[in-house]
Structure 1
Amino acid sequence: MFIRNWRRVLLRASSMWCVYIAAILQVAENAIPYMSDYLPWWMPIAVLVLAPLFRILSQGGLDADKQDHADETR
């Protein structure tokens, strides 16, 4: 099974990457001793705030329905 447009899929998944990174930062802060001394408490929150922005950028705007329809006609 091969994904023909794997680069585009990874680019459009950039908003989910923000969620994954925030989760990893939160786990690291709570699980690794002394990590909270180096990792600011607001870092996971800041990464999560960026997730919607990355979603809008990766889909090319707020009109995702029109873009998805254009993708299907190609």
Structure 2
Amino acid sequence: METSLYSVYIVTAKGQATANDEVLLVEHPPAKEPSAHFLPIKINESATTSKISKEVTEAVHTHFAR
């Protein structure tokens, strides 16, 4: 997902049972240096695209609510 102010990428750890998935949030506001943040999320192997989108959206909203 990309907007004019930030980009979001899902980083998965396939094959590692103890690893969690993460969202890489890259903020690129105008007239400022970009910044990158890893946000933890939980995605089940059987999760639908809709469920994954919801988890990603919640993680991003939580980040910006801080």
Structure in which a larger fraction of residues adopt helix: 1
Larger RCO of the pair (alpha carbons < 8 Å, separation 6+): 1
Structure in which a larger fraction of residues adopt strand: 2
Tell me if TM exceeds 0.5: no
Q: TM-score, normalised by structure 1?
A: 0.27
The structure that has the greater radius of gyration is: 1
Q: TM-score, normalised by structure 2?
A: 0.29
